[in-house]
Structure 1
Amino acid sequence: MTAVPDNTLPDSLSDREHRILGEASLALFAGRLVLDAQPPIDDALLDAVAERCAGPLPDPLIALWRTTFGGRLDYNLSADLDGQNVPLSFTELFYPDSNGYHDLWGWIDHEGMLAQETWPDWSGRLVHLPIGGFEYLERVYVHTAAGPDYGAVDCWRQGLPPGWELTTGDRVGRLADDLHALFGQLVLDQNPWETADATGEKMRDAIDELGESGDPTARSAAAKLRRIVQATVLDWRAALDDGTLAAQRRLRQLALERAASDDDVELLARLAAAGCDPAEEIGSGLTPLDVALMHRAFAVVPWLLEHDVPVENSLWLGAHAVDLELARTLLDRGASVDVRVVGQALDNDDVEVVRLLARAVQPDAELARLVPRLRTLAAEAAHAADRLTEESDATAAELKRRRSSALTEVADRFDPGHRS
C-alpha cells in the first residue's frame, strides 16, 4: 500500500468478470467499488432527470449512471467545512424506488419544494441535483447550471444535537470539481482485512463472498477487487517511515488520532519529532487530547498537556471519564464547563467530579433541566446504600450514601424552587 491512495489504478477486470460483478450487484466507477449496484440508467430516465435540472447533466454523472444507477458506498470521506476537517457519511447513491428515507425522485421533489419556498420566482429546474448522501442528515449535489461551477460537487450537512459534535448548525461546502474527482477522494482510513469494525467491512465481506465461489473467474474478479479496494487505504505509517508525513495533512491527522486513541506515548513522540503538531485539530474540531479522553487513553494525557494541546473542549468529551485530579487540571487550564459537561459527568464513577464541575458553572435554566435526573440518581444511590447495608457491606454502602448526598447537593444548587 502507498502512503496516498492510488486513484489511477487501472480497472483490469475482463468483460466476463464485470458481468459476474453485475450479477453480484457490484460495480466499479472511477476506481471505487459500489455495493448494491443497480442496473444502468436508460435513456428515458436520463431525459426525465435532465428535465428537472437547470442545464444538461454533466458527463461524469452520466458515466456513473451508465455504470450503475444507484447503490451504496463504504468508504471514508472528509471535507473542509467552516475551517474544520469534517467527516461525511456519503453512503447512498440515490435511485428511484430505493426504499431509503427518500428515493431520487423524492429528493428532487424535496429540493424543488425548498427552492420554491426560498425563491418565489424559481424556474422549476434544479441548479443543484441531489445524487447521494446519508438518510436525511447529509446530501451530495452535482451543479447542473452553465457556468464556472458546472459539474462541481457540493455537500450539505445537517447540524447535529449538542454532544454529537463540537460545532452545531448546518454546513455547506465544495467537495470536488467533478464527480470523478469526488470518487478519487473516497478512501479507507484502515485496511478492513486487518481491522475489525472498520469502514470498508461491507466491501470486504462482499469481496470475500465472491472469492468463495466455485467459478474461477469469480475468484479472479474477487482478487482484483481486493487489490483495488486496498489501494485506497491511507498508509500513514509508510509516510512516517519515508519522512513525508508532516506534509500530508490527512495522513498526519490520522496518525495523531491513532496514537491518541491507542494510548501510545512513544508514537506521539515520534510524530512530534517528525514535524507533526500534537495540538492540531484532527477532525470535527477534536484535538488528540479530546480523542484520548473519549477512549479513556490516560497514559498520553500528561504528554499532551506538556505539549500545550488546547483543553477548551476536553471536558465536553471526557467529563464521564476523568478523575478528580485531572478534572481540576483541565479546569485550571481553561476547559469549558456547561450543561453538557455536567450532564456527562453524571456517568462518572467519582461523584466528586460532578460536585467540582457543578461548582464551576452558574445555575441557569439549562442546568435546571438536569434536576429531575439528579434527584432520580440520588434516590437510586440512597436505595442502593440501604440494600448494601442490609447485606453488611458497610464500605460500599457509605460510598453510595456519599454519592446520593453529593447529587442532592448539586440538584439543590440547580433547582430554582429550592434556592427560593
Structure 2
Amino acid sequence: MIDLPVDPLSDRELRDLREAGIALFAGRVILNAQPPVDDATLAAVAERCAGPLPDPLVALWRTAFGGRLDYDLRADLDGQDVPLSFTELFYPDSDDYQDLWGWIGHEIDLADEHEPQWSGRLGHLPIGGFEYLDRVYVNTVAGQDHGAVVCWRHGLPAGWELRTGDRSGWLADDLHTLFGQLMLERDPWNVPEGTGAEMRDAVDELTNSADAHLRTAAAKVRRLVRQTVLDWRSALDEGTLPRQRRLRRLAMDRAVTDDDVALLARLVSLGCDPAEEISNGLTPLDLALMLQSSDATRWLLQHDVPVDNALQVGAHAVDLELARNLIDRGASVNECAVIRAVDNENVEVVRLLSNAVRPDALGRLSQRLRTMAGQATPAGRDSSAQPGTPAGEREYRRAAVLAELADRFDADRQP
C-alpha cells in the first residue's frame, strides 16, 4: 500500500462529507451514502433473521444504511483467486438491484422452495453485492460463525470462465475484516478508468469546493483512498514480492497486460512462478493469449509453461501455426475452444480445432456452429455492400466453413 499519513477527520468534516453523500466505515469510502438506519428498521430486519444482527453490521448501518463501494475485492472460491464485485450496499426501497427487502424476500422464497423444514428465519442475510451476479451475506446464526461474511457468485455461460456453475465461499470473519480487504489494484489518480474512478471523481469534485472545510476533508479522503492502492512495485524493488501472493499475482498480471517481457523475466528471476494462476483460474499464458500480448506469449512458451487451457481462452487470437503448436504441447480442445475460435480472423483455426474435439461433443457443436453460420451470412452481406471487400468475403467464407463442419458433425453422428 502507498504510505500516506492521514490525519483523523473532525466531526464537522464527517458531517460535511455526509451532506455530500460520502461516509467512512472501517477506513473505506461509501459513495451515495444513505442515512443511518433507525431502530424500527433494525428491529424489522432482525425479525427475519435466525439470530441477532452482528455488531459490525449494525455499526455499518448506523454509519450508512446503503450506498456504493468502488474497490477491488478477491475471493478464494474452489481454490481459485476470483475477482468479486462488491459495489452495492443494500438498503430498503431503493427501486433497483440494491433493494434490501427485495433480496430478503428472494432468499425467503428460495428457502421455502428448497428447504421445506427451515425455521422461517434467514441464517445468512444478504447485505450487498452486484446486481444479480454477486451477493455478500452476513451470518446471523448465534454461535462461533456469527457475523462471518460469505459470498455467492452466479455461474456465467460456458466460455466466459474456465469453470461453470454457481460458486460460494468464505470471505471474512466479520464486516470490519472484509472492509479491510477492499483495496485498489491501480491508483485511480494515475489511470483514467477502472475501479476507483468513481471515488476519484467524487473526491476531486469536493476538492474544488468553495468551502475550505470541505476541501480539507477531501484532501484527507484522497490520502485515505490512496492508502488502499496495492503497491507491488515497491515490493518488487524491496525483493519481498514473491512472498506476497496478491502482489505477485498483480505484478504478473500487469507484465502480461502491458506485454512487458523485461518485467516478466525480472519477476521469474526473483522466484515468481510463470505458471501460477493469477486470476479466476487463468495463468499468465492464458491471459497473454486473451489479450493478444504476443511478446509475452512467445516468452512464456519458450519457458515451457503448461498450456492446458490456452485454446479454451485464447482460440480467438491464435494464428494457425500457434494453434497447431498448442495442440502439440497438450492444450485441451473442447466445445468452448471451438466456439471461441469462431471469432478468429482465420476460420481454418475453427476447422483445426473441430478436428481435434471429442466425438461426444459433436451434437452440441453442430447446432451451435449452424446457428453461427446463419449469423455470419448476413454479416458478410452487410460487410460487402461494396462487392468483393475483404471483410465481406471473410464472413462468407466463415459461414461456409461453419455450415460444412455442422453438416459433417451431423453425418458423423448418424448410426
Q: Which moves more between the two structures, 282-291 or 339-348?
A: 339-348
Displacement after TM superposition at 1:308 (Å)? 2.6
1:94 maps to amino acid? F
Aligned length, in residue pairs: 412
TM-score by length of 2: 0.92
Structure 1 residues 180-232: Cα deviation after superposition (integer angstroms, max 9, x where no partner): 00000000010011012220100001001111111111111111111000000
Q: Any residues of structure 2 matched to 1:143-158 within 5 Å, and which?
A: 143-158=139-154
Q: Which moves more between the two structures, 307-316 or 62-71?
A: 307-316
Q: Any residues of structure 2 matched to 1:270-349 within 5 Å, and which?
A: 270-349=266-345
- Residue 372 in 1 paired to residue 367 in 2? no
Whole-Å Cα distance in 2 between the matches of residues 385 and 20 of structure 1?
A: 59
Structure 1 residues 235-257: Cα deviation after superposition (integer angstroms, max 9, x where no partner): 11111100110001011011111
Q: Any residues of structure 2 matched to 1:381-400 within 5 Å, and which?
A: 388-389=387-388
2:376 maps to amino acid? L
Q: Check conservation: 2:98, 2:128, Cα contact below 8 A.
A: no
TM-score by length of 1: 0.91
Q: Check conservation: 1:385, 1:401, Cα contact below 8 A.
A: no
- Residue 409 in 1 paired to residue 404 in 2? yes
Q: Check conservation: 2:307, 2:330, Cα contact below 8 A.
A: yes
SS in 2 for 1:272: helix
2:159 maps to amino acid? G
Q: Check conservation: 2:172, 2:178, Cα contact below 8 A.
A: yes
Residue of structure 2 in register with 1:174 after alignment: 170
Q: Any residues of structure 2 matched to 1:4-403 within 5 Å, and which?
A: 12-101=8-97, 103-361=99-357, 362=359, 364-369=362-367, 370-374=369-373, 376-377=375-376, 388-389=387-388
1:371 maps to amino acid? R
Q: 1:143 to 1:376 in 2, by over 3 A?
A: closer
Q: Check conservation: 1:382, 1:404, Cα contact below 8 A.
A: no
Q: 1:360 to 1:15 in 2, by over 3 A?
A: same
Q: 1:99 to 1:383 in 2, by over 3 A?
A: closer
Q: Which moves more between the two structures, 371-380 or 187-196?
A: 371-380
SS in 2 for 1:299: helix
Structure 1 residues 244-294: Cα deviation after superposition (integer angstroms, max 9, x where no partner): 100010110111111111111110000001110010001111011111111
Displacement after TM superposition at 1:165 (Å)? 1.1
Whole-Å Cα distance in 1 between the matches of residues 143 and 391 of structure 2?
A: 71
Provide the identity percentage.
63
Q: 1:346 to 1:224 in 2, by over 3 A?
A: same
Q: 1:11 to 1:91 in 2, by over 3 A?
A: farther
Structure 1 residues without counterparts, runs of 5 or longer: none
Q: Check conservation: 1:371, 1:414, Cα contact below 8 A.
A: no
Whole-Å Cα distance in 1 between the matches of residues 115 and 188 of structure 2?
A: 46
Displacement after TM superposition at 1:300 (Å)? 1.0
Displacement after TM superposition at 1:72 (Å)? 0.6
Q: Check conservation: 2:21, 2:32, Cα contact below 8 A.
A: yes
Q: Give me the CA root mean square deviation.
A: 2.5
2:197 maps to amino acid? E
Whole-Å Cα distance in 1 between the matches of residues 392 and 105 of structure 2?
A: 61
Structure 1 residues 139-167: Cα deviation after superposition (integer angstroms, max 9, x where no partner): 11111111110111111111111122111
Whole-Å Cα distance in 1 between the matches of residues 392 and 30 of structure 2?
A: 57
Q: Check conservation: 1:412, 1:418, Cα contact below 8 A.
A: no
Q: Check conservation: 2:380, 2:391, Cα contact below 8 A.
A: no
2:407 maps to amino acid? D
Whole-Å Cα distance in 2 between the matches of residues 266 and 328 of structure 1?
A: 27
Whole-Å Cα distance in 2 between the matches of residues 153 and 277 of structure 1?
A: 31
Q: 1:223 to 1:121 in 2, by over 3 A?
A: same
1:409 maps to amino acid? E
Q: Check conservation: 1:253, 1:282, Cα contact below 8 A.
A: yes
Whole-Å Cα distance in 1 between the matches of residues 391 and 165 of structure 2?
A: 44
Q: Which moves more between the two structures, 296-305 or 332-341?
A: 332-341
1:135 maps to amino acid? E
Structure 1 residues 373-417: Cα deviation after superposition (integer angstroms, max 9, x where no partner): 22553676589789545xxx8x99987776565445334323449
Q: Check conservation: 1:296, 1:321, Cα contact below 8 A.
A: yes
Q: 1:245 to 1:68 in 2, by over 3 A?
A: same
Q: Check conservation: 1:151, 1:179, Cα contact below 8 A.
A: yes
1:216 maps to amino acid? A
Whole-Å Cα distance in 1 between the matches of residues 393 and 170 of structure 2?
A: 58
Whole-Å Cα distance in 1 between the matches of residues 180 and 400 of structure 2?
A: 57
Q: Check conservation: 2:373, 2:399, Cα contact below 8 A.
A: no
SS in 2 for 1:228: helix
Displacement after TM superposition at 1:355 (Å)? 1.9
